[in-house]
Each structure stands twice: as C-alpha cells, then as structure tokens.
Amino acid sequence: MRTSAFRTSPQCEIVLFDRLGDHERAALADLRAQRDFYGILRRRDVADGSGPRSVRAVDRDMALLLLTLRDAGPLPSYVNESDPAFDGIRRLVLDGFVEISDGPEFVTGNRAAAVLLPGRSTDGARHRLAQLSWDAVEYGAALPLDDRGTLAMRLYAFNRLPLTAAHAARYPDAASILDPLVDDGRLREEGWGVTHANGGHWINFGRQPRGRRAGLSAAPGGTSCKLYVSPAPSGLADAFRELLLALEAHDVRNFKVAGKAAGLLRPDKLVAYFDDQATLLAVGDRLADRLRGLPAQGVPFTAPIDADGLLSWGADPPAAARPLSWLPQQSWRSWITESLAGALIDARRDPGDGATAPARFAVQRLQFEGVDVDRWAPMQTLWRDAALAGASITL
C-alpha cells in the first residue's frame, strides 16, 4: 500500500467551516470547539436530492493531506502506519472519498476492499449468533432499499418472531406481561422500582445499590455494556426469575423487559445494564449454569456467552463517539446496524468488475473499524479518537 498512488476523488470537495452555509455551520457548531477542526469533506454525486447528504468532518492535518492528494501520488513520507492519518485515508477510500491505484485504474469503495483489506476473512466455523448475524447481513444485502435508516431498522429487527392474534390477545397490556413474571410484593421487598419507558415499549426495573461500589451498573442511557438474555417466548418466566436473582446477588441495579406483546417476540426482550464487563460476565456465567437447556432465540450482532446463544453482550458507544451533541445516543446494535446499512448501500452503488459482494464488504468494513466479526464483540481499537477522526455526519 505504501507504493500505491492515491487521489482525492474528483467527486469530492473539501470545504472550510467558515465557507459553509448558515444551516451547515449551525449544525456543526460543536465541532468548531475542537482545536484542530478544519471543515467537511463531501461527495457531490450523493447530494443529488435522492437521499440525505453524507459528509465527513476533517481536521487540519487531514484537510492538508486531502488537498495534497488532489494530484495523484503516494502518501507523503510523514504518513507512516502509526500515524492516525494512515487509517484515516484507508477509511476514506473504503467510504468513497479517496481513490487508490489498482493497476492502471483508480478504485474506491467496495472495489478497493481487495487492495486495502487483504487476508481478512469472514469465512469458517461460526457460533450460532455469528451465523445469525451473517444471515442478517445477507438478508439486508438482498433488500432493494436505498434509505440507510430503513435498512438499518430491518437489520436491527432480524430474528424477531411474527406477532399472532393469539399472542396479542394473551398480552394486551404491560400488566399481563409483568404479573406472571414476578410478584409486586417481592419487588418492593427487594427495593425494585418499576417504570414504563418509550411509550410503554419497555418496563424498566431500578433499585438503590446496597453499597457504593464503583463499576457495577448504571442507569439506562449511561451504560457501557449490556447483557442480553434471549429465551424463546415460552422460557421468558424462567429467564426473568434467574436474571432477577443473579442481579440481586451481584448488586446490579438496572434491567428491562419488553412491555408490549410485539416486544416479547424480539430477540433482545430482556436486557441488563453494566459499567463493568467483569461483573456482566460473572452474571452471564451464573445464568449459563442455571438456564442450561432453556430454548434460545438469539440476538444478532452480539457477542456470545454460552454455546446456544441464549446469553450475549454488547458495548454501547461512548459519548465521545458522537461528534455532535444533537445526534441521538446509540446502542451497540443500533450503531452496528447503521454502519452495516451504510456500507451495504455504498457497495451497491458500484457493482463493477473487481467489486466485493455487498454483504462481505459491509462486514469487512465493520471489521476494519474494530469489530471482531467472528464474535461480534468490540476490539480495543474501537472508537479510539472517535470524536473527529472521519466522523460521518448527515446534514
């Protein structure tokens, strides 16, 4: 790669913050507070009215490099493999903003994957959850959808069970879900408070900790990792009971269960919150022993704890991963599915010779960002320097 020639795509423009329109400057005001912020990189050919305009925030060093690469040539000698700009350029090639030479022609996006990602494989024996996740990506690749949000939601909902009339009649409200799971008196005795959130879609459980030991659990929205308990609907009561006992034993103080009939059919119907992965795994190990043999549904795009896919975990993006304060806080699975949806749509735009299949490209693109796609777990490099480096923004 060091000997390859690069060039900023002729379809792209680099715009200094001061020269943006009033609406764009207002939307990007948070970034201006960062000392090295320069402006944005955007593709002219995506801003054609067919969908939202995707841009990249760039700092001064990256802007200088992109301006240098308006004339094709190798990367400057100061951009070595330990320089953040090295991975930054590779990221921009994969996302269609920069082109790399491949023989006599310049390629970008999925046609550049073979050049930039040699030896990265998504084949081989897979855990049930990994196979379920791969099936979801292939399903998404086959959908004729060009809207990133819509495609991301379809990926997120993969492996939900269909809502039947009998199921809807059995669970008409939150009380019909909660009453068979646990006695109100026991909840009060153990200090659990119950609230309903997101228009009743979730029933949240919270309690005061016995001690002020750091790193045990946090309130929803401020968490770093989640434990997913995914039984088939028939096993929800057993799973709920054992999860409640395990969380009390470890002084964990927040979890939730789906609050509507349709929610009980989603794979991630029962979720507990943690600041500390070690405590999460201790709870997971206890549940794996107590719930062995319980039929599992399985949550795509989560890291397995047990062999059957009943128990898994994910790590929510930190606040620093949001380049702008007005962007919504994302969960692990929403970040994964939005990233995959964007890569699938990008890959389908250029199906020419040498292009990587959209599903494979999307998974490899996520692997490049720091996701272990054999286990669907975060690597240590994930979200490093995430606030500005190549931040993807929709205006």
- Distance, in Å, from the CA atom of 197 to the CA atom of 218, rounded to the nearest integer, reads 16
Check pLDDT > 70 for residue 218.
no
Per DSSP, the three-state class of 231 is strand
Place of tokens 């059919």: 265
Minimal CA–CA distance to 327: which of 386, 256, 258, 254?
386
What pLDDT does 80 receive? 84
Q: Give every CB contact of residue 85 below 8 A, 6+ residues apart in sequence.
A: 61, 62, 65, 79
Q: pLDDT grade, residue 152 (50/70/90)?
A: very high
Q: Alpha carbon of 66 to those of 14, 15, 72, 238, 331: distances in Å?
A: 8, 11, 10, 57, 32
Both tokens of residue 117?
């990602």
Both tokens of residue 145?
């959808």
Check pLDDT > 90 for residue 160.
yes
Does residue 31 contact residue 320 with C-beta atoms inside 8 Å? Answer: no
Both tokens of residue 287?
């549940």
Lowest mean per-residue pLDDT among 46-50, 94-98, 160-164, 390-394: 46-50
What pLDDT does 215 receive? 42
Rounded mean pLDDT, 118-135: 76
Which comes out higher in pLDDT, residue 164 or 217? 164
The torsion angles phi and psi of 248, rounded to 5 degrees, stand at -65, -40
Amino acid at 236: L
Check pLDDT > 70 for residue 2.
no
Could you state, in order of their start, the residue ranges of all structural domains in the chain? 6-122+320-394, 165-297
Q: pLDDT grade, residue 385 (50/70/90)?
A: low
Lowest mean per-residue pLDDT among 2-6, 273-277, 309-313: 2-6
Lowest mean per-residue pLDDT among 9-13, 180-184, 235-239, 319-323: 319-323
Check pLDDT > 90 for residue 282.
yes
DSSP 111-150: GGHHHHSTT----S---HHHHHHHHHHHHHHHS----HHH
Check pLDDT > 60 for residue 49.
no
Q: Measured on CA atoms in the order 75, 81, 84, 86, is the torsion positive or negative?
A: positive
Does residue 110 contact residue 365 with C-beta atoms inside 8 Å? Answer: no
Residues in the chain: 395
Q: pLDDT grade, residue 261 (50/70/90)?
A: very high
Angle, helix 128-142 to helix 332-349, in steps of 10 degrees: 40
Using only the alpha carbons of the chain, give its radius of gyration. Answer: 23
Check pLDDT > 90 for residue 153.
yes
Rounded mean pLDDT, 353-371: 87
Indicate the helix (H) or strand (E) that contains 184: helix 184-189
Q: Measured on CA atoms in the order 280, 281, 284, 286, is the torsion positive or negative?
A: negative
- Distance, in Å, from the CA atom of 153 to the CA atom of 149, rounded to the nearest integer, reads 6
Per DSSP, the three-state class of 22 is helix
CA 111, chain centre distance (Å)? 24
Place of tokens 């016995």: 210
Arithmetic mean of pLDDT over the chain: 86
Q: Give every CB contact of residue 231 below 8 A, 6+ residues apart in sequence.
A: 238, 239, 270, 291, 294, 295, 296, 297, 310
Which comes out higher in pLDDT, residue 120 or 367? 367
Q: pLDDT grade, residue 209 (50/70/90)?
A: low
Check pLDDT > 80 for residue 141.
yes
Report if pTM > 0.75.
yes
What pLDDT does 140 receive? 97
Check pLDDT > 70 for residue 8.
yes
Which comes out higher in pLDDT, residue 259 or 125? 259
Check pLDDT > 50 for residue 66.
yes
